[in-house]
Structure 1
Amino acid sequence: MSPESPYAPLLASIPLTVSEVSVLGSRTRYWVYSPADAERTVVIVHGYRGEHHGIEPIIANLPGVRFVSPDLPGFGESTPLTETDHSVAGYSAWLVAFVDALELEAAPIVLGHSFGSIVVSHAVAGGMRPLALILVNPIATSGLKGPRQWLTGLTVFYYGLAKKLPARWGRRLLGSWVIVQLMSSSMAKTKDRALRRWIHREHHTYFSRFASRDVVVEGFAASISADVSEFAAQITVPTLLVAARLDDITPVEAQYDLTEAIAGSTLVVLDDVGHLIHYEVPELAASAITDFLDTLPAS
């Protein structure tokens, strides 16, 4: 995490190891936050254009849980997939193979944030059997049906333009400081100026750590090609949804519909926050996760 992180002291107390494994042609780098007495293991799938740093504030507030947090192929420090494409199905196949490669003693809990919620739901619907599922800011309905349609349309145009431009110029557009700042400013809901500055720094530091223009464009196409509701009927493991009332990507009404569609699932809606639960109110997300973990059988 960056030096200004308000969660750095908590995170520093958790033992950390970094490893790497080859999965479907991707040299996947992953971080294990593992207290010696951890009874639960949670495998994380982060959101689109994010990487493992983004979920660290939640990890910092759950010191008794072992987290395995990889960078998605093509983002952060993980190389792109070569044996499949960067689609929802491709990332889902990667997730299944990645968890298998970990050779865990017991089935883990799987946490998906934003785009990651689509990937993990696809994997579970396809037969993956984690102990439980946690969806933070789940994409409960099509990303093209968000509450702010003008912003959605602008985003689609932006990625379409990046795809049409020569690769060099497309990459420069995708990494534009101005564009990243506009994105960060529109998504942050907190009125805390210091926290907003830190959120913007996080986005400027990590949002453009991608392997190529093509990986980003393929990933965006994947992010708007499906949503969790498509797989809801096939999700039969205990599931927690942590949603935000002010989410600009998924309207909160869709989260209630998704909860009804996933049998036996639990929904926690956080007020006064949008699509950045992991940055703005990680302690509230951690509290909801703790309550959920307490309802699960022992590993």
Structure 2
Amino acid sequence: MSTIAVRAAQLKSGLVLPYAEAGYPEGAPVVFVHGLADSWWTFEPLLRQLPGALHGYAPTQRGHGDAERPEEGYGPEDFAGDLVEFLDAVGIRRAVLVGASSGGVAARLVAGSHPDRVAGLVLAGVPATLADKPGATALGESIQNLADPVPRAFVEELLDGLTARPLARGLLATLAEENLKVPARVWRETMRGLLETDLAATLRGILVPTLVLWGDADSLLPRADQQLILDTIPGATLVVYEGAGHVLYWEEPERLVQDVTAFAAAVLPARPDGGAPGGAGAPPRPRRDGPSV
């Protein structure tokens, strides 16, 4: 089982983001990108399972968890910009990006705009578009009515509908507490950004190897939605997790780690990026050390 170290990275913009780091220092760099209201904790089950072949990073996005909360900047392009600056801050020249749920939007924006920084893209339960999903519109309307403090009942009901199988109560409690750290304005602005962005357009121009992971019991994303990703990104491949819901990385963390490990080995077989943290030619790693968990 991998040890998780919690650190903080200062971006070029001055924003400080906490992040979790796990795995082997010389392993292939894999950056996990969370979605709306989550934090690095959403990947805790995955980070615990990382093998020596991987070096995992999971930043908490602006406004979420214990990250700093600027007054503005919660659209997909803002999160994508932070992600590129995060790669610079921790010294990653080229990585596999694993975008989870709405976090996959920022990840694919980076893959499309900075292909030199992305060896491969993994989209785990990521929507192709929200324009054709009444449920997303209804959720957006509910979120627009949120006020601080965000009601626990709202968060718990939302989390309860994301999986097809029961989760450990301790994990659910931790995830709920992380969601409750997010101010109502960040919920509102982040969701508004997702709904007002042409998400289908963000799939165009991606030329890096792409792996699509989808649970066939996902109540939010139908198969046709994922097919749009496959039809738009050249060479993208789909792996179906039978019986898994939207947040398949909570339900089957071991399998997802295995799939990501095999994918990383294929796209970064000999670390040709030269981007090992602290390696020759790598950017400096300004960070603040924190505890291990």
* TM-score, structure 2 normalization: 0.83
> Secondary structure at the residue paired with 2:244?
coil
Q: Are 2:23 and 2:47, in contact at CA under 8 Å, matched by a contact in 1?
A: no
Q: Shift in Å at residue 23 of structure 1? A: 4.2
Query: Residue 148 of structure 2 is aligned with which of 171, 176, 183?
Result: 171
Unaligned runs of 5+ in 2: 272-293
Query: Residue 119 of structure 2 is aligned with which of 131, 147, 152?
Result: 131
1:100 counterpart letter in structure 2: D
The alpha-carbon distance between structure 1 residues 189 and 259, as it changes in their structure 2 partners (threshold 3 A), is same
1:124 counterpart letter in structure 2: A
1:120 alignment partner in structure 2: 107
Q: After the TM superposition, which residues 1-299 of structure 1 pair with which residues of structure 2 at under 5 Å, given as runs?
A: 10=1, 13-14=2-3, 16-36=5-25, 38-64=26-52, 65-81=54-70, 85-104=73-92, 106-129=93-116, 130-142=118-130, 144-146=131-133, 149=134, 151-162=135-146, 170-172=147-149, 175-190=150-165, 192=166, 195-210=167-182, 212-226=183-197, 229-296=200-267, 297-299=269-271
> Secondary structure at the residue paired with 1:171?
coil
Equivalent residue pairs, number: 268
> Secondary structure at the residue paired with 1:131?
strand
The alpha-carbon distance between structure 1 residues 43 and 153, as it changes in their structure 2 partners (threshold 3 A), is closer
The alpha-carbon distance between structure 1 residues 132 and 153, as it changes in their structure 2 partners (threshold 3 A), is closer
Unaligned runs of 5+ in 1: 1-9, 163-169
What's the RMSD between the two structures over aligned residues? Answer: 2.1
1:209 counterpart letter in structure 2: K
Q: Are 1:48 and 1:223, in contact at CA under 8 Å, matched by a contact in 2?
A: no
Q: Shift in Å at residue 202 of structure 1? A: 3.0
Mapped partners of 1:18, 1:222: distance in 2:
28
Mapped partners of 2:60, 2:207: distance in 1:
27
1:3 alignment partner in structure 2: none
Identify the range of structure 1 (222-231 vs 260-269) with the bigger mean alpha-carbon deviation. Answer: 222-231
Mapped partners of 1:57, 1:51: distance in 2:
13
Mapped partners of 1:136, 1:48: distance in 2:
14
Q: Are 1:138 and 1:228, in contact at CA under 8 Å, matched by a contact in 2?
A: no
Q: Are 1:58 and 1:282, in contact at CA under 8 Å, matched by a contact in 2?
A: yes
Larger helix share, 1 or 2: 1
Q: Shift in Å at residue 45 of structure 1? A: 1.4
Q: Are 2:96 and 2:119, in contact at CA under 8 Å, matched by a contact in 1?
A: yes
Identify the range of structure 1 (221-230 vs 129-138) with the bigger mean alpha-carbon deviation. Answer: 221-230
The alpha-carbon distance between structure 1 residues 275 and 227, as it changes in their structure 2 partners (threshold 3 A), is farther
Deviations 1:238-272, CA, capped at 9 Å, x for gaps? 11111111222221222122112111122111111
1:87 counterpart letter in structure 2: G
* TM-score, structure 1 normalization: 0.82
Q: Shift in Å at residue 156 of structure 1? A: 2.3
Deviations 1:135-170, CA, capped at 9 Å, x for gaps? 11111122x533xx3x434412211222xxxxxxx1
